[in-house]
Amino acid sequence: MTPPPAPKGAAPAPRRPIPGGSSRISADKGSLGSTIRGLWPYLWPSDRADLRRRILWATVLLFIAKLVTVGVPFTFKWVTDALVPPGPNGPPTSIPIEALVAAPIALVLIYGLARTLMALLTQWRDALFATVSMHAVRRLAFEVFEHMHQLSLRFHLERKTGGLTRVLERGRNGIETIVRMVMLTGFPTVVEFALILGVLVYQFDWRYAAVTVAMIAAYMWYTTKATEWRIAIRRTMNESDTDANTKAVDSLLNYETVKYFGSEEREAARYDKSMERYERASVKAYVSLAILNAGQATIFTIGLTVCMAMVVSGIREGRHTVGDLVMINAMLIQLYQPLNFMGMVYREIKQAVADIEQLFEILSREPEIADKPGAPQLAVSSGAVRFLNVQFAYVPERPILRGVSFEVPAGKTVAIVGPSGAGKSTISRLLFRFYEPQSGRILIDGQDIADVNQKSLRAAIGMVPQDTVLFNDTIGYNVRYGRWEASEEDVYKAAALAQIDGFIRSLPEGYDTSVGERGLKLSGGEKQRVAIARTILKAPPILVLDEATSALDSFTEKDIQDALERISRGRTTLVIAHRLSTVINADEIIVLDKGVIAERGSHTELLDRDGLYAALWNRQREADEARETLERTRAAEGLVEKAPV
């Protein structure tokens, strides 16, 4: 099998300005106005004239459809009056009785055609607007996803992945709901209200319109109050849902740990406890919906009954026909659907706003690390790295680095070693500018990394991390992640240098083999080799190896170390190591202890000083010798079989 070609469109596309960026979206809780203002640039995109034409044409269809809609009840009246002709002293009609009696079937056909035309126009409008609404959802979802990647590492370390993805999913669905409800239901309903009120005043009198307006006002007041009550219930339900989803994702990601400690029942109990809260909140949500629907039906029925009673009185007085009774009933029943939609529109919009509150909060959150306006690209000539009196703390109460200064000369290798918690990995995070130091400067070829573009900075640095996490895709995809435009031959060479090409080719699907969630289908050493291969493929001028051989056994560590030394030649390399045997050939070794540089020098010089480095070295040698003795003994006894990682 050959590695897959670079996926079309997989490489990050150049960023295009998106109308209505996150600055347009407020995080005000329950603020429908701010939500609509934030969404408007997406619904009326300045860079898409075709979408704006669709909106205008959909609006024309809307008004035509609503005119046809309010005309349908008139066909009921005409058919009824045609079938129930008045007596000698009967009530007047708006159309000659002779004509109506002669053509009742034709009038029924007109009624059928009117309803068909109404449906066709409405569906045509919805189909036209679908492109607009889904384009808005897509562009806003893109901006949210992109913004999440722009937020700081601190933000993502403090968030739970399951909860964050749930917020994104519900927020995206909520945005789609708002767009659909406001533009496809809310605005058309307001137009229909206005037309029906006009017909009531024209065909009957102002009292009918007054009763209808009073009914609508009471209906909307009740809907508003009941919906506000339901929003609090919905918010509790969402929180319980998020908590349950977070626990499920966290537990499944740690599947092996759960098995190690036999904690299946405890994990299931934790999940069920969250689902129990979700169950209670869901029951309350359904009960409150039943109360809302019952109240709405009661208010509408009262208004309908009053209007029909007024028509019956008018028939007795000779002012109306039986057709008028049928017409007022049909018109108000026809009004009930958009009126019920109006209640649903408000209810769904309020619930959608509740769903996207957290999403808007994320959008309104500024990245902790941001490029300065007009920040230039990093210009790497030789790749020399310098730390000048860098002080850093994740929290003020616990300083990590206390005035650290050192230099990694161009093309040289400098190793950072020391006890756990000394601040070794923090140095790599500061170099990648995941965090900003509280004081001090970090320079690359004399350029302060705080002043340059972050993308260009990270493009110049390659990282082989301690904890390798792979994408749930193929091996080829993960290797090619280092450089999308790389040729297949380059991918092969990178894998070969990482000592994994042979293993990949031995697999039935070769480079097309799926690595599973977080790469769990591969061993720790195999994942580490894939990480090394993609960094080799990136071919950066500066290389950071953060415990790059930590997942490798003693039989393969030497081979990998040789490969790392080969790719390090000619590159500025910073090695962060726990195993001191991997850094003995470094040009300089810096020993960190409690955030300060305790010792520095070559491997031989540091051993001669008999200080902290020598103590760490002796302790590790004793442990390594004991492990090697045990491995040789077990191998000799045939208890284990040596196998490649």
Query: Do 437 and 344 share a domain, yes or no?
Result: no
Tokens of 173: 């669905």
- Establish if 67 belongs to a structural domain: yes
Query: Do 140 and 257 share a domain, yes or no?
Result: yes
Domain boundary (314, 337, 364) is at: 364
Smallest CA-to-CA distance from 30 within 323, 228, 224 is with 228
- Establish if 565 belongs to a structural domain: no
Residues sharing a CB contact under 8 Å with residue 62, sequence separation 6 or more, in sequence order: 125, 187, 188, 191
**H helical segments located in 151-263:** 153-158, 161-181, 187-203, 206-253, 255-260
CATH of the domain at 407: 3.40.50.300
Smallest CA-to-CA distance from 30 within 174, 187, 180 is with 174
Query: Do 312 and 448 share a domain, yes or no?
Result: no
Residue with tokens 């929003």: 231
Which pLDDT score is estimated for 161? 57
Query: Do 388 and 452 share a domain, yes or no?
Result: yes
Query: Do 161 and 248 share a domain, yes or no?
Result: yes
Which pLDDT score is estimated for 113? 82
- Establish if 446 belongs to a structural domain: yes
* Residue 506 burial (10 A CB sphere; 0-12, 13-18, 19+): exposed
Query: Do 382 and 347 share a domain, yes or no?
Result: no
Query: Do 319 and 399 share a domain, yes or no?
Result: no
Query: Do 322 and 394 share a domain, yes or no?
Result: no
Full residue range of the structural domain in which residue 331 is found: 27-364
CA dist., res. 573 & res. 438, Å (int):
25
Tokens of 201: 């005043």
Which pLDDT score is estimated for 620? 80
Query: Do 359 and 382 share a domain, yes or no?
Result: no
Number of domains the chain is built from: 2
- Establish if 436 belongs to a structural domain: yes
Smallest CA-to-CA distance from 469 within 519, 508, 427, 509 is with 519
Which pLDDT score is estimated for 641? 45
- Establish if 501 belongs to a structural domain: no
Strands in 572-576's sheet, in edge-to-edge order, are 461-464, 542-546, 572-576, 413-417, 588-593, 596-601
Q: What is the mean pLDDT of each run of 10 residues along the chain (645 residues)?
A: 41 37 43 72 80 83 81 75 57 50 65 80 82 80 80 71 70 77 74 82 85 88 82 80 83 81 85 87 86 87 87 82 81 77 71 72 79 90 92 88 92 88 86 91 93 90 82 88 87 87 90 82 82 87 80 63 76 86 87 90 90 88 71 61 41
CATH of the domain at 164: 1.20.1560.10
CA dist., res. 415 & res. 110, Å (int):
87
- Establish if 261 belongs to a structural domain: yes
Domain boundary (364, 394, 423) is at: 364
Tokens of 266: 């405890």
- Establish if 137 belongs to a structural domain: yes
Contact 469, 463 (CB under 8 A): no
CA dist., res. 121 & res. 63, Å (int):
10
| One-letter amino acid of 83 | L
Contact 39, 136 (CB under 8 A): yes
Query: Do 215 and 266 share a domain, yes or no?
Result: yes
Domain boundary (315, 335, 364) is at: 364
Distances (CA, A) of 321 to 85, 106, 124, 206, 264: 9, 20, 36, 18, 74
Strand partners, 599: 591
Smallest CA-to-CA distance from 235 within 246, 224, 243 is with 243
CA dist., res. 640 & res. 627, Å (int):
14
| Residues 538/544/545/547 CA torsion (nearest 10 deg) | -130
- Establish if 213 belongs to a structural domain: yes
Residue with tokens 């607009």: 132
**How far apart are the two ends of the chain, measured CA to CA in Å?**
20
Tokens of 308: 């029909």
**What pTM does this model have?**
0.65
Query: Do 84 and 199 share a domain, yes or no?
Result: yes
Query: Do 406 and 330 share a domain, yes or no?
Result: no
Catalogue the long-range contacts made by 122-127 (C-beta closer than 8 Å, 24 or more residues apart). Answer: 122/61, 122/65, 124/61, 125/58, 125/61, 125/62, 125/65, 125/184, 126/184
